Structure 1
Amino acid sequence: MSSDERRDSLADQAAAWVPPWQRPTAPSAAPETEDPGDSAPPEGPEPTKISGEIEGAAESAAPDVPVEAGGVGETGGVEGGRGSGEGRGVGEGKGGRGSSAKGSAGRRQRASAPEPPPELDDTELRGALEAILLVVDEPVSELILAQVLEQPAERIGPLLDEIAAGYTAAGHGFELRRAAGGWRLYTRPEYATYVERFVLDGQSVRLTQAALETLAVIAYKQPVTRSRISAIRGVNCDGVIRTLVSRGLVEECGTEPDSGAFLYRTTTMFLEKLGLNSVDDLPPLAPFLPDDVEELADATR
């Protein structure tokens, strides 16, 4: 064979050559024994089959569902799902916040408007007042009694007046009366002798004449300084004033603007011991003054 014929033969073979993955599948019986050296690599019929299936599926799907339309459809589906989820979430969230806001408003309303305490009837309120008045060690005001019993203050005063009138009408050995701006139970004056005999038992602690005079000056001239008291009495009153302060009958109440001296006044205990509601209830001095008071005043000048 000449060289020209050989080249034509090779060209024909190259033109007629078909790649392995495009060759038709031809079943063939595998030899029982194969020489490892002579075995050729697989021609890949399976890749050819798979590729054909993939291409066929793509061609069959292409006319019905375009790739772009499918992508948009899938995206739209995802976005639609997300939108519905977000809608439900937002709706539920808003509903939850609304419920929470309503609950907070309700709690604030309940906190701002507490339920009023139950109102006691007259019998129970009377008993509660009597029980408190039996244990107090100083006069208690109507406002404090109303706060403790959680009752309107308008009910306390009239009921205390009624209780006091009832004690007086029944002739009890004690009475309820106002003193030092409040209410307290006291023994009746007609039984004072028996009470003193029981309490003092022969021992009596009394104020001296000087202390009584000084206390009277302070009661009628309050607030007053020590120098003013000494000028009225004509003697030094420092020791007597200290005694009255230690007994709780007199207390300091500031200083005089001009001299800076301490001012003194009577205390609540003073009103309580005398059974007075205020210093305005002190008896007037005119009936106790001597007839020649003006001559005495001129003499002292």
Structure 2
Amino acid sequence: MSIEEDVATIEAALYAADRPLALDEIRKIVGTSSETYTRKILDQLEEKYNQKNGPLDLKASDQDTFSLELQEDYMPKLEGIIPKTKLTRGALKTLAVIAYKQPIKQSELAEIRGGRVYQYVKQLLELGFIEAKPLKRTKLLRTSKKFAGYFGFEDQIDKIREKLQQMTG
């Protein structure tokens, strides 16, 4: 494939993915072992979006993951069109506690948030925002990669806390 075709392929992959893609994943999609070539493709894609001055941006994280994101200016105009995950205030607060204290036992979470927490945990698991591992008679809960990608940060606990504080008021 030509570099133009590789740029188009990566653009399509980033568009179709529901999460940021790691540099290694992008390298495999293109079918190269060269990190240098992969970065060259990403540089060209970034240049393309910078020249277009359109609604999308190529975002790179500190952990070498990449995603296409809608610019903030367009969000209010598209509010009714963009599907949003409906999280109740209770589910969002439960998610905030998990993010703050992760990993946290589900039994400890129930002591903090009350009995309805099990319903919220079930919803958060179904949405893929948290992961649960069995631990004796309870579960150990932590946030997932989908959570990090959805809220715009990668395993940075300070950013997680700050963003969730803003969201829960």
Q: TM-score, normalized by length of structure 1?
A: 0.46
Three-state SS of the structure 1 residue aligned to 2:122 is helix
Tell me how far apart the structure 1 counterparts of residues 92 and 118 of structure 2 sit (CA, whole Å): 14
SS at match of 1:157: helix
Alignment-derived partner of residue 19 in structure 2: 138
Tell me which stretches of 4 or more aligned residues in structure 1 moved more than 6 Å: none
- Residue 138 of structure 1, CA deviation: 3.2
Q: Is the 8 A contact 1:219 1:279 kept in 2?
A: no
Q: Deviations over 1:5-46 (max 9, x none)?
A: xxxxxxxxxxxxxxxxxxxxxxxxxxxxxxxxxxxxxxxxxx
C-alpha contact (below 8 Å) 1:176/1:183 kept by paired residues: yes
> Alpha-carbon deviation of 1:150?
2.4
TM-score for both structures, normalised by structure 2: 0.75
Q: Name the aligned partner's letter for residue 277 of structure 1.
A: E
Identity of aligned residues (%): 24
Higher helix share: 1
Distance in 2 (CA, whole Å) between partners of 1:129 and 1:171 is 19
Residue 209 to residue 128, structure 1, CA distance change in 2 (3 Å): closer
Determine the structure 1 residue equivalent to 2:130: 250
Q: Hey, what's the Cα distance between the residues in 1 that align with 2:148 and 2:50?
A: 22
Name which structure has the greater RCO, CA cutoff 8 Å, separation 6+.
2
Q: Tell me, which stretches of 5 or more residues in structure 1 are unaligned?
A: 1-117, 289-301
User: What is the CA-CA distance between 1:223 and the residue it aligns to?
Assistant: 1.1
* AA partner of residue 79 (structure 2): E
- Alignment map for 1:1-301 (pairs within 5 Å): 120-121=2-3, 123-151=4-32, 152-161=34-43, 163-164=45-46, 166-168=48-50, 170-178=52-60, 182-200=65-83, 206-233=86-113, 235-236=114-115, 237-255=117-135, 260-280=137-157, 282-284=159-161
RMSD: 2.9
CA contact under 8 A between 1:181 and 1:278: conserved in structure 2? Answer: no
Where structure 2 has 5 or more consecutive residues not aligned to the other structure, the ranges are: none
Give the direction of change, closer, same or farther, for the CA distance of 1:161–1:222 in structure 2 (3 Å limit): farther
- 1:184-240: CA deviation from partner (whole Å, max 9, x where unpaired): 21211111122222235xxx652111111100011121111122212333x222222
CA offset digits 1:48-85 (Å, max 9, x no partner): xxxxxxxxxxxxxxxxxxxxxxxxxxxxxxxxxxxxxx
The corresponding residue for 1:293 is none
Q: 1:239 to 1:154 in 2, by over 3 A?
A: same
